[in-house]
Structure 1
Amino acid sequence: MADEPEEKGKPEEEGADTTDWKAMARKWEARSKENADKAKAYDELQEQSKSELQKAQEKAKRAEDELAELKAKAELAETRARVAKESGVPAELIFGADEGEMEANAKALAAWGKPSSAPRTHKPGSFSADAGDGRDAAKRELARQLFGSGE
């Protein structure tokens, strides 16, 4: 019986995965924390080793990028305001990446927001056949008094 494996509640299956995943996760977590500390130290060392000229150049590049972004936003806002003025649609409702998209959007919004004409009826001014059943005689009398006898 020395050849038989010890039983721990479950019989071992052939090819069963016996890896302790919690232990492996702790191991890799510890390594990643160690590497993160080393990476931070490396970044600090690189920053310290930069010359003043390199730092100034990087700062200027960030400022130029920010300026270009602000100019693009201002240009879009100006275009949006112009399209809003031309179309009569509020600027807050207009969107698009360029002038063409904004104009198409404003045109669609203007068409959607345009009030429709009065509803169409089959015979305007006529009453249905069941209107003479006497239930609304008081209303008809009031209308006759207000608007005349209809003659």
Structure 2
Amino acid sequence: MSGKSNTQGGKAFGLLKLHQEERLDSINKEFLDDPKYSTDEDLEEKLSLFKRKYMEFDLNDQGDIDVMALKRMLEKLGAPKTHLELMKLIREVTGGSSDIIHYKDFIRMMLGKRSAIAKLIMMYEEKAKDKEDIPSGPPTKKVIADLP
């Protein structure tokens, strides 16, 4: 494979990512302008986080998460699921209207009141990152003289 075609492939991928990000930003703007969500003062920050997460698991950069992308996401989080469980998760997020999680469905789930399984998993991942500073391994040995 020549260096030229490699460069063109990289440019095409970069453009695909850029277009995807622009589409997701446009959808985020719709949510920011929607009076239904305007009471949330952290909305812009949340949408930015949701966009990053969504893009991370959108394997084909087409703006949707299919069953394979969801499988990869849950395996990465240490919560692998069967194909039937994955399909159930997708139906829960989409309301049964699709076999693919579109960004708008994802945002509605994350901002919604109901505790969808996928939402709980995403929140769990964020909390797990916060706990990375906790030391691991056995505690240091102490002697009775060290007790207060």
Larger radius of gyration: 1
Structure with the greater relative contact order (CA < 8 A, sep ≥ 6): 1 or 2?
A: 2
Asked if these proteins are the same fold (TM beyond 0.5), I'd say no
